[in-house]
Amino acid sequence: MATVATSTYSNFINGEWVPSRAAKTFDDRNPANSDELVGTFPASTAEDISSAIQAAKDAFPKWRLTPAPKRAEILYRTAEILIERKEEFARDMTREMGKVLAETRGDVQEAIDMTYLMAGEGRRLFGETTPSELPNKFAMAVRVPVGVAGLITPWNFPMAIPSWKAMPALVCGNTAVLKPAEDTPLSTYHLTQALSEAGLPAGVLNVVFGDGPGAGAPILKNRDVSLVSFTGSTEVGRIVSEACAPTFKKCHLEMGGKNIIIVMDDANLPLAIDGAVWGGFGTTGQRCTAASRIAVQEKVYREFVDKFVARAKTLRVGDGLDPATEMGPCINEQQLKTVMNYVEIGVAEGAKLAAGGHRLEKGALAKGWFHEPTVFVDCNPRMRICQEEIFGPVVSIIPFESFDDALEIANGVQYGLSASIYTRNVNNAFRAQRDLQTGIVYVNAPTIGAEVHLPFGGIKNTGNGHRESGVAALDFYSDWKTLYVDYSDRLQRAQIDNSE
């Protein structure tokens, strides 16, 4: 394979790519081959963040007064640029994130879809009109921008999730400061470059690279930031929430998941196995919606286990740019060690290790952070491997007797993002949709596969009530302003006069 040239990148502040005030940098490396340097990025400081926030603050007055359809036209042009460069951006994403090329193409496509969706909202941004309770009085509510948005995004969907946050924020008339994960800065660089080339005015979107303490924390503390949207772990989300509270920042948290696939004894078993393999090992299990638990009814339990384990053992692990690869590496060495630690925990808890369980480090895999697709069977739902988010290619299979047992297992975790049921029984399908304690439910499909025009998010320790995607995202990135116009030419005292 030809050597790919690397570059040194800068922050994007007030419409220009500028170096950090400090000389510190960090490396963006290929998780499939840690010898490959994808790029060098600035380790931003509080001073850099302050400059970015000031640029966003200065740009806000003009941007909020730009007609929403005009803001949307810039987003539309951005989507066109992303389409033109989809393959280039997908390949770069595989180099820095590791997931297979088919998945990174999907990641870029999701950014395209979200950008088009929000471009369309620029000619809607619907409010409400309603009859007044008094004569000769007009009543309506409209959406208005909030201010400067602080956006903190993870590494597993390095273009899709920044687009989930940036596009609704911008179309609503906010300006923004975006800090991507330090493991995947190049994909956000590409998205930012596309927005800039599409004509986004200086200062409307600013991007600062760096880690959480150095670049993320100053965003949370700055009083000129009006709202914060964060995607990441529940532990860090709690820190974000506490940091936003003193200044009453609007705060959106999208956090962890411990998602389940329920397989009933009347399920289409081959379909359920296909879905469970994709849900458990897609993106190397590094999705907040990954199906890390599978509950299987006893009548079909052994057949499902045998076939699922056999499939897991045949998955080809390797470099995501290789067309034959079915599962890529973990994102970094720390995440690989986390996966290995949970395998040890599962064994110690008494779960049966039926497949995988080891790091892969021979031959072409020696310089990457690879782990075998791993399956534990005969699990107790209270085991740590069935309760805690692992964020890796580890799936735990749990037997159950009745549908009520399955619901109890599914809901018996601290998270509530996504759940799935495979069944041909329409009654059980509808009961599952009603009774599963998650923000997303799939029937006869895995726990992954969200579409951008519908709300995305969860309950319990997964989220704090807001949603990404769809029209629901506009509710976070805008405030409601209620307007009354009284043309009666006399004092009307609402409920006082209305009661007479």
Q: Any idea which residues carry the catalytic annotation?
A: 254, 288
Residues 338/106, Cβ–Cβ less than 8 Å:
no
d(CA 269, CA 263): 8
Phi, psi angle pair for 96, to nearest 5°? -95, -20
Residue 220, both tokens: 């949370």
Q: Cβ distance 56 to 48 under 8 Å? A: no
Mention every residue, 6+ apart, whose C-beta is less than 8 A from residue 349.
380, 383, 384, 385
C-alpha 107/C-alpha 157 separation (Å) is 6
What is 104-169 written as a DSSP string?
HHHHHHHHHHHHHHHHHHTT----EEEE-SSTTEEEEEEEEE-SEEEEE--SSSTTHHHHHHHHHH
Distance CA 293, CA 314 (A): 20
Residue 429 near residue 421 (C-beta atoms within 8 A): yes
Q: Where are the alpha helices (DSSP H) in 140-289?
A: 160-171, 185-197, 217-221, 234-244, 269-281
Question: Using CA atoms, how far apart are residues 3 and 40, in angstroms rounded to an integer?
Answer: 16
CA distances for 244 relative to 163, 224, 247, 370, 449, angstroms: 22, 12, 6, 37, 31
